[in-house]
Amino acid sequence: MGSGRIARTFADAIEHSARARLVAISSRTPDRPDIAARFGGLPVLSYEALIASPEIDAVYIAVNHAGHVGLAKAAARAGKHIVCEKPVGVSLADVEEMFAVIGESKVFFMEAFMYRFHPQIRRAVEIVEAGTIGDLRFIQAEYGFSRPFSSHRLYRPDEYGGGVLDAGGYPMSMARLFAGLARRAPFANPESVQAMAAFHEVGVDILALATLRFPGDVLAQISTGIAMKHGQVARLYGTGGNLVIRSPWFGGGIHGGRCELVLTRDGEEPQTIVIYDDVWLYEHEVNALIDGVAAGRTEPEAPAMTWADTLGNMAALERWYRASRKTQA
């Protein structure tokens, strides 16, 4: 559902998978001829027609953020399993209401944080859980990218543009994941969220910073931005060393490949840990959906995004979004 760039990328992952078949595309404007052309001549349906189609077992929702929740509820009511782009919604209340509907429908639902499936994350989780860097005390996570000003959703306040409700979910969810591990839980939610941001004149945040305090006094500094390439990195600092995830969001790329963790234990030289992934990045999501449905589950297993993790991330993003606006000059 949706025909933008990420939909095209996800379609590639489905086509690359031997386990799923892409049946149809759907769009708000199904009659646009370029959509069918971009998706290999597949049927392009309206959202309603796609959801009503008996041929379809599962949907992937990649429309603008504000449209996610409505389509997810409609799809769930029709018994379709769901992978939904992030953030699932633009307010916690909307997402809570959505989960109430999905819970009734007993379908599988997963927020599409593909990075959680990458083997480097599982490896980083193991390293932290093993105590290799001591007690985790401080997390830094960043996702800044540069997109020139345009009429794109990112620069539209009415479409919840800006970084916090776009790439901001990445560093927030990464900090929450590892802050949870510090307490032997699959995630943690911040006790306090401080935020500061710089805004474009149209009113969207172009550089957004947050400082988080988690239970057990684990602190985090996170950032996102849409107008400048700053870091795309995650760093985990413990009482006995640190671990840097050098390419935390895409690993070696969307078609798999090689990436690196750098582990430094106090008093030792930094150690580079090479991670290979043979699976395409978004194909992991296809697999998680199929495996989850086959196992009769309604959500993936951590460290992928469970429903509670999605709710916690949405709550934290909402706090970040609101707090950053209070600092607007």
* Sites of contact with its own copies (CB under 8 A): 137-138, 144, 146, 192, 194, 196-199, 207, 209, 211, 213, 217, 219, 221, 223, 225, 227-231, 235, 237-239, 242, 266, 327, 329
What letter does residue 227 receive in the DSSP assignment?
B
**Cα 168 to Cα 316: distance, rounded to the nearest angstrom:** 10
Token code pair at residue 130: 């093993």
| Residue whose CB is less far from its own copies, 46 or 221 | 221
Q: At closest approach, how far in Å is the CB of 221 from its own copies?
A: 5
Find the shortest distance in angstroms from Cβ 210 to its own copies: 8
Instruction: Report which of 255, 284, 290, 299 is spatially closest to residue 114, judged by C-alpha positions.
Output: 284
Which of 90/141 has CB closer to its own copies?
141
Question: Are 87 and 317 spatial neighbours (Cβ–Cβ below 8 Å)?
Answer: yes
Distance CA 97, CA 99 (A): 5
CB of 314 to its own copies, least distance (A): 22
Q: How far is the CB of 155 from its own copies (least distance, A)?
A: 16
Nearer to its own copies, 110 or 323 (CB): 323
Nearer to its own copies, 33 or 148 (CB): 148
Residue 205 near residue 184 (C-beta atoms within 8 A) = no
Using an 8 Å Cβ cutoff, are 264 and 271 in contact? yes
Q: How far apart are CA 165 and CA 90, in angstroms?
A: 7
Q: Which is nearer to its own copies, 18 or 329 (CB)?
A: 329
Nearest approach in angstroms of CB 33 to its own copies is 34
Our CB check for its own copies shows the closer of 138 and 250 to be 138
Minimal distance in Å, beta carbon 211 to its own copies?
5
d(CA 139, CA 314) in angstroms, rounded, equals 19
Which run of H or of E encompasses 244? strand 241-245
Least CB distance to its own copies at residue 69 (A): 31
Q: Do 95 and 89 meet the contact criterion of CB atoms below 8 Å apart?
A: yes
For its own copies, the closer CB: 4 or 215: 215
CA separation, residue 185 to residues 125, 212, 313 (Å): 11, 17, 15
Q: Under DSSP, is residue 26 helix (H, G, I), strand (E, B) or coil? A: strand
- Checking phi first, is residue 25 left (phi over 0); if not, alpha (psi -120 to 50) or beta? beta
